[in-house]
Structure 1
Amino acid sequence: MAFTNTKGRYASFGIVTSLTPEIIDCFWDILDRNLKGVFKLDNRLAFQLVNSQGKTSFKYIDKYSQTTLIMDYIYPFDPFFPEIIYIVDNDGMETIILPHELDN
């Protein structure tokens, strides 16, 4: 099962240059507090960043249960944020990455 044996956590170049460190940390917080142990997780998780009255919300849809989670944070939303972001688990090496950076 994915995301059960964390060896390291990383952010791609595209992520680091398009998101603030606080937003990047939110992804790890969501994974650890809201997803692990709650949902069956694949090795690729998709998120959408949403403008919620000027603040940033993170939207996750679990493909197995069709449950949608929207987590609201206090950080300002930037219209230049990437819309879709993935977290990928590659044998314990977890990386936040943009869709176009994935080696499909």
Structure 2
Amino acid sequence: MAFTSTTGRYASFGTVSSIPGEVIDSFWYIIDNYLKGVWPLDPVLNFELLNRSGRLSIRFSQDGKPLKLVIDTNIKVNPNWPNRFHAVDNMGRETIMTSREI
């Protein structure tokens, strides 16, 4: 099972140059507090940024799995942000990256 033996956490250049740190931190918060130990996690997790009345909601999914989870935040949405990101676990090295970088 992925995301159980973290040795380091990173964000790709494409990620840090396109969204603020508090959004990146939100991905890690969701993984740690809503996903780890609750559901079996694949090495690649999908996150979609949604605009809910000007505030950011983040939808989690895994390819080929029916589970979807949406977490609402108080973060103001910027319409120029990319809308898809991924968390990738490569033997404990966990990285947030854009769809273009995966």
2:71 corresponds in structure 1 to 71
Distance 2:21 2:34 in 1: 20
State percent identity of aligned pairs: 45
1:28 corresponds in structure 2 to 28
Runs (5+) with no aligned partner, structure 1? none
Runs (5+) with no aligned partner, structure 2? none
2:45 corresponds in structure 1 to 45
TM-score in terms of structure 2 length? 0.95
1:61, distance to aligned residue in structure 2 (A)? 2.4
1:67, distance to aligned residue in structure 2 (A)? 2.2
Distance 2:91 2:47 in 1: 20
1:29, distance to aligned residue in structure 2 (A)? 0.2
2:18 corresponds in structure 1 to 18
1:20, distance to aligned residue in structure 2 (A)? 0.5
- Following TM superposition, where does structure 1 have runs of at least 4 consecutive aligned residues deviating by more than 4 angstroms? none
Q: Which amino acid aligns with 2:82?
A: P
TM-score in terms of structure 1 length? 0.93
Q: Across the two proteins, how many residue pairs are aligned to each other?
A: 101
> Can you list the C-alpha shifts for 1:41-73, whole angstroms capped at 9, x where unaligned?
110001100001100000012443x12211000
> Can you list the C-alpha shifts for 1:69-102, whole angstroms capped at 9, x where unaligned?
1100001011111111000000000000011112
